[in-house]
């Protein structure tokens, strides 16, 4: 699998739908082999958009979706809800919207603190045994949560917020690297413009700050698979080109030092 994925969250599903479809198709043309979506993104509208753009899917393409957030709050607002009935319903909806018989990678969007973890992972495991889910992943988890989850199911991916300037989840990345679990950082380039050092390295390489931020992630650990998102083709092409950016050891060390406690 190519180590630069695509986050579909920012694809518009209304007035700019044609543009969104063009972006999704261009991502595949550029060799992207993993696209990330979720039930939360438009209540499934994002999943439907990807199917409209890309079905029938290329053999090498994996579309991963996330479940466990639902409009079940007191006023119909979104909230964490990973009760077994909700998870099963959202998986069935995703299968229908994506037009597939199995979701190759299904991620729990967040761990629901009001539902026993064994019930959440147990439900996903049952769906896996039934052939409706290929592999199970998690999103926004701590080391302790990941450890407990791995006692209940085989976890193949973790999707946490992480970037060159945001390393709160460095301990989680370390566990993933040791266990061979794919680490999919979301919001991997958002803070790129906040660093003069980042801009300086970009100038040295003739690249953009966003490309340098992505190149740093790719060099950080072999288990990292960034999923930058955008609704514009030009930005998409810029992100994908980051795979060709190579940092020198000295440049990498300068970027490592941007966050206290960063290691080279």
Catalytic, out of 41, 55, 57, 162 = 41
C-alpha 13/C-alpha 17 separation (Å) is 5
Contacts 24+ apart (CB under 8 A), 97-101: 97/44, 97/47, 97/48, 97/51, 98/47, 98/50, 98/51, 98/55, 98/63, 98/65, 99/51, 99/55, 100/57, 100/63, 101/131, 101/132
C-alpha 107/C-alpha 98 separation (Å) is 15
Kindly tell me the burial class for residue 99, based on how many C-beta atoms sit within 10 Å of its own C-beta (0-12, 13-18, 19 or more): middle
Distances (CA, A) of 201 to 4, 10, 15, 149, 237: 21, 27, 38, 39, 20
Instruction: Give yes or no: 41 in active site.
Output: yes
Given this model, what pLDDT does residue 57 score? 98
- Residue 106: helix, strand or coil by DSSP? strand
Percent over 70 (pLDDT), the chain:
97
In the predicted structure, residue 192 carries a pLDDT above the cut 70: no
Is the Cβ–Cβ distance between 152 and 121 less than 8 Å?
Answer: yes
Given this model, what pLDDT does residue 260 score? 57
Domains and CATH numbers, the chain: 6-188+221-230 (3.20.20.100)
The model's pTM:
0.94
Q: Tell me the pLDDT band of 144, cut-offs 50, 70 and 90.
A: very high
């Amino acid at each position: 699998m190519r180590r630069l994925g695509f986050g579909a969250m920012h694809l518009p599903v209304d007035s700019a739908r044609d543009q969104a479809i063009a972006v999704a198709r261009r991502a595949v043309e550029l060799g992207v082999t993993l696209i990330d979506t979720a039930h939360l993104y438009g209540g499934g509208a994002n999943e439907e958009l990807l199917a409209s753009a890309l079905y029938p899917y290329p053999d090498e393409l994996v579309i991963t979706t996330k479940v466990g957030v639902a409009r079940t709050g007191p006023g119909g607002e979104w909230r964490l809800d990973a009760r077994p009935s909700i998870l099963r319903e959202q998986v069935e909806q995703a299968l229908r919207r994506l037009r597939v018989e199995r979701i190759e990678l299904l991620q729990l969007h967040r761990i629901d603190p009001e539902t026993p973890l064994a019930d959440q992972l147990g439900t996903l495991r049952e769906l896996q045994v039934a052939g409706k889910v290929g592999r199970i992943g998690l999103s926004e988890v701590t080391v302790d949560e990941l450890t407990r989850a791995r006692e209940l199911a085989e976890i193949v991916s973790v999707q946490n917020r992480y970037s060159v300037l945001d390393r709160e989840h460095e301990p989680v990345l370390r566990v993933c690297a040791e266990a061979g679990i794919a680490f999919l950082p979301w919001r991997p380039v958002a803070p790129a413009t906040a660093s003069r050092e980042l801009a300086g390295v970009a100038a040295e390489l003739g690249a953009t700050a966003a490309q340098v931020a992505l190149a740093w992630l790719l060099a950080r650990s072999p288990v990292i698979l960034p999923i930058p998102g955008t609704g514009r083709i030009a930005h998409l092409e810029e992100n994908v080109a980051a795979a060709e950016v190579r940092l020198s050891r000295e440049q990498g060390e300068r970027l490592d030092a941007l966050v206290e406690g960063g290691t080279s």
